[in-house]
Structure 1
Amino acid sequence: MAHEIHAEMVANVLNVVAQEGQTLAEGDTVVILESMKMEIPVLTEENGTLTKLAVKEGDVVQEHDLIAVVE
């Protein structure tokens, strides 16, 4: 079953850590967001493979925007 990772706030995508096709463990960092000069790591909540990465460095995400899908 797919697990979608969504943005919890408006932020800039500072760094993309994981790549599509990469195997992730629960708690691994997918991307790092920046908001109000704070760095916020976005973590996966499940083990699986990163099948879709919907952002790239420099993007601006809005609250609830899709960041990634882990299956």
Structure 2
Amino acid sequence: MADVLAPLAGKVLDVLVQVGSKVEEDDELVVIEALKMENTVYAPAGGTVKEIKVKKGDSVADEELLLVID
């Protein structure tokens, strides 16, 4: 199981996966806007998306849990 954390504080612009999505290592998962720049969060490992904790428009803190891959 892999927890995917926000690499920095910002606003969620897009969630690119759904619960049940199969992902490979380095697949794009979430786009966060911080300091007027878009930052993509990538899968740390392959697996299936089990939980998504954020949605488009949410504000997230640094190291906040975004989603869980199993």
Classify the TM-score, shorter chain. Answer: over 0.9
Instruction: Spell out, residue by residue over 1:20-54, the C-alpha distance to the aligned partner (whole angstroms, 9 max, x if none).
Output: 10000011111100001100000001110000110
Which residue does 1:43 correspond to in 2? Answer: 42
Q: TM-score, normalised by structure 1?
A: 0.95
Identity %: 33
Provide runs of 4+ in structure 1 moved above 6 Å.
none
Asked if 1:68 is matched to 2:63, the reply is: no
Structure 1 counterpart of 2:5, one-letter code: H
5+ residue gaps, structure 2? none
Which residue does 1:33 correspond to in 2? Answer: 32
Q: Is the 8 A contact 2:7 2:41 kept in 1?
A: no
* Counterparts of 1:24 and 1:30, CA distance in 2: 9
Q: Is the 8 A contact 2:52 2:66 kept in 1?
A: yes
5+ residue gaps, structure 1? none
* Counterparts of 2:53 and 2:60, CA distance in 1: 10
Q: TM-score, normalised by structure 2?
A: 0.96
